[in-house]
Amino acid sequence: MLLPWCFGKRQWTLGDRPRLMGIVNVTPDSFSDGGNFLDPQRAVDHALQLVEEGADILDLGGESTRPGAEPVSLDDELRRVLPVVELLAEQTDVPLSIDTTKAEVARRCLQAGAEIINDISGLTFDDDMPDVCAEYEAGIVCMHIKGTPQTMQQNPTYEDCVQEIRDWLQARLEFLESRGLKAEQTIIDPGIGFGKTAEHNLTLLSSVQLFRALGRPVLVGHSRKRFLKKVIGRDVDERLAGTVGVAIALAAQQTDIIRVHDVAAVRDSITAYRTVMQQIPMP
Angle between helices 103-112 and 74-91 (to 10 degrees): 20
Residues for the chain: how many in total? 283
pLDDT at 38: 66
pLDDT at 120: 96
Give the predicted TM-score (pTM) of the model: 0.94
Name the residue among 118, 124, 220 with its Cα closest to residue 171: 124
Distance CA 273, CA 280 (A): 11
Name the residue among 254, 57, 205, 238 with its Cα closest to residue 270: 254
* Range 15-279 has CATH code 3.20.20.20: yes
Using CA atoms of 60, 70, 145, 143 in order, give the dihedral in degrees to the nearest 10. -10
Angle between helices 263-279 and 40-53 (to 10 degrees): 10
Distance CA 140, CA 74 (A): 20
Amino acid at 123: L
**pLDDT, tens digit, 9 for 90 and up, residues 51-89:** 999 999 999 999 988 787 788 999 999 999 999 999 999
**pLDDT, tens digit, 9 for 90 and up, residues 187-229:** 999 999 999 999 999 999 999 999 999 999 999 999 999 999 9
pLDDT at 31: 46
pLDDT by residue for the chain (283 residues), tens digit each?
899 999 999 999 999 999 999 999 998 754 444 445 668 899 999 999 999 999 999 999 999 887 877 889 999 999 999 999 999 999 999 999 999 999 999 999 999 999 999 999 999 999 999 999 999 999 999 999 998 888 888 889 999 999 999 999 999 999 999 999 999 999 999 999 999 999 999 999 999 999 999 999 999 999 999 999 999 999 999 999 999 999 999 999 999 999 999 999 999 999 999 999 999 887 7
pLDDT at 115: 98
Active site residues: 225, 259
Name the residue among 158, 256, 262 with its Cα closest to residue 211: 256
Number of neighbours of residue 238 by Cβ within 10 angstroms: 13
